[in-house]
Structure 1
Amino acid sequence: MTARRSPLALHAVAGLLVAGSLLVTFATGVEERPVALAFGVLVAVGELARPPGGPPLREAAPLGAAGSLAYALVGAHAGHPTHHGVAQALLVLTVLCDTVVVAVLARSRTGWPFAPTLRDELRGLPGIGSAVCATGAVMALAVAVVGLWALPVFSVPLLLTQLSLRRHAAVRATYRQTIASLARATEIAGYTPAGHARRVAALSQAVGRDLGLPEPELTVLEYAALMHDIGQLSLVDPVPDGATAGLPAAQQRRIALLGGAVVRQTGADARVAAVVERQADPYPEQPPAARIVRVVNAYEEKARGRGPGGPLAALEELRLGTGREYAPEVVEALAGVLRRTGAQAGVHPPASGPGGASGRVVAGDSWAV
């Protein structure tokens, strides 16, 4: 309930702030309209250049952010003092901040825990955040000296950055679609049930987020989870229902090594292949991503076909196996994710396609199988 009320409260505060700024601006009139219009156009261009399908929480409109910051800081225009008040400057800032707040509040839609999400955002702040602050400050100083002609000059670097982000987002989306298509090969060949890889990838990412994995490691985790069963294509006799969790340890390792070899031949990141290869190793020797894939894959296999009580029974089996086969911290993180989504009780969250704003399979997939 608190998670639902917080977004409403923040939206209410933001709405009141915008409404108050509008009232003051309408009452006093717009000061220095050419300056306000120029900065408004700059912010609008920055928002229009926002990369589609980019990360839902990362600042994806640096030009708009820098323009709004510059307008708030500018104290002179071509040597003449400016007179726009705090309310008028605040109005430009809050229009942009509303989009940022909506993005941050994606937690209320995805169920991502607050602390790991905030930590991931802080990791990305020194890069694009420092560039936005520096460009905004330089813009304000340049406008004070030479006037509005400084805006297009100092906007070019950030605009080119945004265009690069758009191209990167498109390439990343294409690469992910290729990985997802490769992962479906085991389903098409009849080695694994339909949707198994997608469900494991979605749930693995949710568990990884709970454990505080940074964004690059979450991407590696997603790709490895999608292709964790690809080694089964090398088997002459398919494993019944594709369920590898119940196989002898030696056979699990053989399939994992075969899968890693296949992943390396696809040209995927070597870290992805390493996770696939090590998913059957003893858990104290595994990297975090391999521990997560192992636990989530075992949960999905054990819960499959058991009816409403399957998720609880599968989770109990995993808990009994902690200390021998499964990492205890991963099992508890999995339990927390299932508890938040209602999957332990056999409640199916509404299904969605691969996506969310990041183009990634997120919390909309059905995890209670």
Structure 2
Amino acid sequence: MSGESSVPTGQAATPGLARVQPRPWAQTLVVVLAALTVIVAFVLRLRGERLGTPELMVLGCFFLAMLAGEALRLDGQDHPMMFPLSGAATAGLALAGELDGRTLGYGAAEVVIAQVAAMLLGAAWLQHRTGGRPRVHHYAVRLLVLSLVAVVYREVPLGPGGRTLVAAATDGTHVRWQVALLMLAVLLAATVLAFALQLLLRPRGGHRARWHFFQEDVRSALPVTLAAMSAAVVVALGLRALSLFAVPLFLTPLVLMGFAIQRQRRAGRARQQSIAALSRMTDLAGYTREGHSERVAALCDVVGRAMHLTDRELVDLEAAALLHDIGQVALRDPIPGGATVGLAPVDQERIADDGAAIVRRTEAMDRPATIISEHPTPFRILREEGRPLSRAARILKVCNAFDDLGGTRGDRDAALERILLGLGYEYDPEVVDALTEVTERVTRAA
């Protein structure tokens, strides 16, 4: 999933459930490093020599491509490298060595300044268009990573004879494929740094949580990042043969890819809206209390984030929480109050199985359906019989019980006491601890 999941209706129904935020010290660190990078770049530019016409032409062309990339960011994505067109343009500018056979004389400082200018204008446009506040630490990560590419390739004497890599690549002694491999090596190292910084910005968790977050980042951002890297190398090499025409020619596929991804994202949002609308069917038919599914979904979201579930897991958990009571439509008579927590285990399982069967009729809903069918299962089954029981199902079981027992309607302490009676038998202690923590935070804030 890539993108960041949301439960707008649930958040409205359960106010005060703030999401888990990245670690503040990590945000501060990357922002300070990025600011220092910008300051150094401006100082070096002021002390540098005047640029020639070819350099200005190249900088201007790539700057326009960066601006377009900032405007065409992948909406809904929560990863600093999900700006494929802007990232490819910046990396291409950092790697460019020749234009029409002439060596380009600009340095890393010019690349950093062009990137900062494009980011600032792009962030202003984003805020004007959506009203949302840009994530400064994500911009800082991109700035640091792509600035490192420019510094390593254009300034550090890593090549033979103490020369820079760009000088070694343009001296005519290397064939094109060798230069391409050199560029890809630099970009791959920068990609590793980007994922490491993104992992650093994630909320604190154990090794399992960090591994899950790393997998989620790789799955969502790596394909787009690799496409941007390949385009950057092709553009940098193409300047020699095609001049500035190489920039729009080789970056256009990234634009088309961005439109395709945006279309897929819109389809995903439409799917979420359909799920939210379907979840209200049990309310309207009188099977559940008004807003029950939305409250459970909001609670599952914040507890899941506290337990460091990945974005993909949170999306599946949200869908399962919204539809977990849909099986009640098969009942002849509604359950009093719609609360399934007091039913016999066999009745809970029958309702869950009916609901899962309904949900599985929808394409790509197998994982939410599995969570729905598993969530009535007592936690002891996991320990005593070793049966698989996902964390999402355990979270849904606890959050559903909390709302059924009145925990979201002012009876927090009484609901938690009832849940604690089944601790380790019906309910996962880890989930109950997370629930207690987030509800205490809401109580203190109130």
TM-score range, shorter chain: 0.7 to 0.9
Alpha-carbon separation, structure 2, partners of 1:338 and 1:113: 19
* Aligned equivalent of 2:278: 182
* Aligned equivalent of 1:48: 71
Q: Label 1:279 to 1:58 Cα distance change in 2 as closer, same or farther (>3 A).
A: farther
Between 1 and 2, higher relative CO (CA 8 Å, sep ≥ 6) is seen in 2
Q: Label 1:120 to 1:267 Cα distance change in 2 as closer, same or farther (>3 A).
A: closer
SS at match of 1:148: helix
* Aligned equivalent of 2:412: 311
RMSD: 3.3
**Counterpart residue identity of residue 259, structure 2:** L
* Aligned equivalent of 2:426: 325
Given that 1:211 and 1:333 are in contact with CA atoms closer than 8 Å, whether structure 2 keeps it comes out as yes
Q: Does 1:34 align with 2:37?
A: no
User: How far has the Cα of 1:305 moved from its partner?
Assistant: 6.3
Alpha-carbon separation, structure 2, partners of 1:88 and 1:134: 22
Q: How does 1:42-191 map to 2 (within 5 A)?
A: 42-52=65-75, 54-57=76-79, 59-94=81-116, 101-103=136-138, 113=204, 115=210, 117=213, 120-191=216-287
Alpha-carbon separation, structure 2, partners of 1:346 and 1:252: 34
Alpha-carbon separation, structure 1, partners of 2:231 and 2:202: 34
Q: How does 1:225-236 map to 2 (within 5 A)?
A: 225-236=321-332
Q: 2:316 aligns with which of 216, 220, 229?
A: 220
User: How far has the Cα of 1:237 moved from its partner?
Assistant: 2.5
* Cα deviation code 1:55-98 (max 9, x no counterpart): 22363321111111111121222221111122111223445778
Q: Label 1:72 to 1:140 Cα distance change in 2 as closer, same or farther (>3 A).
A: same
Given that 1:117 and 1:209 are in contact with CA atoms closer than 8 Å, whether structure 2 keeps it comes out as no
Q: 2:38 aligns with which of 6, 18, 31?
A: 18
**Counterpart residue identity of residue 84, structure 2:** P
Q: Label 1:36 to 1:305 Cα distance change in 2 as closer, same or farther (>3 A).
A: closer
Q: Label 1:58 to 1:22 Cα distance change in 2 as closer, same or farther (>3 A).
A: closer
**Counterpart residue identity of residue 359, structure 2:** V
* Cα deviation code 1:232-287 (max 9, x no counterpart): 22223222322211222112112112212222344551222222122212332433
Alpha-carbon separation, structure 1, partners of 2:374 and 2:287: 20
* Aligned equivalent of 1:301: 404
- TM superposition score normalised by structure 1: 0.79
* Aligned equivalent of 2:339: 243
* Aligned equivalent of 1:288: 391
* More off after superposition, 6-15 vs 158-167: 6-15
User: How far has the Cα of 1:163 moved from its partner?
Assistant: 0.7
User: How far has the Cα of 1:100 moved from its partner?
Assistant: 7.0
Q: Label 1:18 to 1:118 Cα distance change in 2 as closer, same or farther (>3 A).
A: farther
Alpha-carbon separation, structure 2, partners of 1:291 and 1:142: 54
Alpha-carbon separation, structure 2, partners of 1:124 and 1:51: 12
Q: Label 1:301 to 1:88 Cα distance change in 2 as closer, same or farther (>3 A).
A: same
User: How far has the Cα of 1:169 moved from its partner?
Assistant: 1.1
**Counterpart residue identity of residue 78, structure 2:** P
Q: Label 1:319 to 1:164 Cα distance change in 2 as closer, same or farther (>3 A).
A: same
* Aligned equivalent of 1:362: none
User: How far has the Cα of 1:37 moved from its partner?
Assistant: 1.0
Q: Percent identity?
A: 33
* More off after superposition, 269-278 vs 175-184: 269-278
- TM superposition score normalised by structure 2: 0.67
Alpha-carbon separation, structure 2, partners of 1:261 and 1:33: 63
User: How far has the Cα of 1:332 moved from its partner?
Assistant: 2.9
Number of residue-to-residue matches in the alignment: 340
SS at match of 1:147: helix
Given that 1:68 and 1:96 are in contact with CA atoms closer than 8 Å, whether structure 2 keeps it comes out as no
SS at match of 1:60: coil
User: How far has the Cα of 1:327 moved from its partner?
Assistant: 2.0
Q: Does 1:262 align with 2:358?
A: yes
Alpha-carbon separation, structure 1, partners of 2:264 and 2:424: 41
Structure 2: 5+ residue stretches without partners? 1-20, 121-133, 141-197
User: How far has the Cα of 1:23 moved from its partner?
Assistant: 5.3
Structure 1: 5+ residue stretches without partners? 349-369
**Counterpart residue identity of residue 63, structure 2:** G
